[in-house]
Structure 1
Amino acid sequence: MDIPLDTVKVIYRRAIDPRASDGEGAAWWAAVAEEVIAVIRAEDTVATASVIAWWHHDWHAVGDSARAAAARIRRACHALRIG
């Protein structure tokens, strides 16, 4: 599945961090794109959460969870008619 990088940025900003900027760098956004695509391909929210669970420290720091973030990513994709 190919998703334009600009679309990945929209999804990430809607679902995770609206402050994420292009200044994060190409490598960072490429890694985000891989994970967003993996989230889209996952069968359900539980499977999706396992894709991004390694961000545990970040989720805990902001009172969030991988499962909630995964659900937001999937909703953002659905709103953009992706997946």
Structure 2
Amino acid sequence: MMIGTTEIIVIAVAALVLFGATALPKFARSLGQAKKEFQKGIKEGAASETEDEPEKETPKASSGRGKKPKRKKQSPKQSRKS
């Protein structure tokens, strides 16, 4: 559902009647400033996020042909308990 030209005109007239001719420019100005601050905050957040987390090198996967890990020997009593 798209908002057409007629709907925009009706909304503008209703806003003019509700808020008055003097308050409407102040409201629009504060809305624009809020949008600007919000976009600025998003850009700063994205920039600080990339600066905080430098790229980490991932360890290379082993081929499985190296040394086998040493296992701890269990006594016969320990193997029966588990």
Check whether TM > 0.5: no
Q: Which protein has greater RCO, CA pairs closer than 8 Å, 6+ apart?
A: 1
TM-score normalized with structure 1 length: 0.28
Structure with max Cα Rg: 2
Choose between structure 1 and 2: higher helix proportion: 1
